[in-house]
Structure 1
């Protein structure tokens, strides 16, 4: 069963809480990554028909935005969650089905050149047009802007019916238009100490970010880290209401210019995390070479101090 209602993004992994309602999700995109949350209105297994699963999709908003760029090891993130919208699984599936007849030909029609005459040129033109102005066959940029305006004026439940689909089919674009924090760079593995039964209040959660660069390492937006191409791992504590409102740096990888003496012994581009029963954390790499003297990916064990 596909959980359409949890949104559309470059999903990497979910972490499901033991309340069977709350799901934290990481999205692995170079400049389109992210950290999201879904809350079902009832425990998901209690729905007889998966199409009836109903819940709300959330994006994070950092509340302690720094004035200047900050070192990743000092970059604690205080978060609040922005409600993007509420729907059922069946509703979102039906919205997706409306686009079933769109083909690659429709995409190529964004070009001025006929794809029959010059396919490569038409494809390049279509790519450029879609990148600059959006894909007119799906949800347009204008729809996203209108949805966000209505969301701010009326709240997430007050938008026009035809716009309710926007955050579920264009999750990151919708979150960005509401000024949520979307600069998380290549958000990868996520796990908690309750990984066998589901995340519980008091559990420690670990999130791997494979790189800290590009939009996550500039002077604008909510994340203004100094660049660390080797990435980092954030840690959070699951709160009593199954929420997460603070991410604290746990591990920071090497810089691209660091010599082998540093890069050889530092976790690099952590792609997956696994919390063992004793609280230690396995950090699994999917690594670039950077300054290392060897080509292999590594497996590290992180031992928390508390």
Structure 2
């Protein structure tokens, strides 16, 4: 059965995450280029950002007569819907895609997500840098126009191919299985990120509920937070100091639980609820629940 993969890259015009101003796509069929797509995009917010312009050299003036994201989405929807999608920084790129979808009132399509940055941390744990340019240099891949979305997508596709070959895998799906890495997933009103790059090399086969899960703590805990994080480490979970798009669980301390959970002053709870409303699969639990779940094994065990 053929494996289709959409490898993409975007550029963003300014600080507005929805201001996607270009997209490049390489669709792979069994790791060979099947289709390519590139377009400039006219975002609703055309404000100028000097820093970003110096990176991608796309100015607001260049975008005035280009298609809107809504129009471009009609072209690119088949590359994303019910597909495996890959970029070199899937967390950031999909954050902008989701923002643009939301701004245009487009429901999230169903897709599965992988990331060449995460996979490179797994396959090449001894490298010092993992950006596209350095990985291209490591693998002797020529990149003609850095920060041009199509050329960056092509480079990411070649990097992906090298990572699969280096792992003796026959497909991207097998590469994920070898390294016990779940793909991220998105569907309407739901979003679950792939593991963070900095945690990738510590990933193990999932045995306990909190194995490979990112957990943050807040509120007044009965057990010192240092001990709670030590317990987490023993089951190969990851302690998150802050709540972000990689957080799987937010644990609220035993003392004053209801005030912390249902009040309006705790910043971590507010952030978790915001992410939850945006579709992120983040669970808010009590310290008591956390302790009860800590040594509970997954169903596969």
User: Which structure has the highest helix share of the two?
Assistant: 2
Tell me the TM-score normalised to structure 2 length: 0.26
TM-score between both structures, scaled by the size of structure 1 = 0.26
Higher-strand-fraction structure: 1
Compare relative contact order (CA 8 Å, sep 6+) and give the higher one, 1 or 2: 1
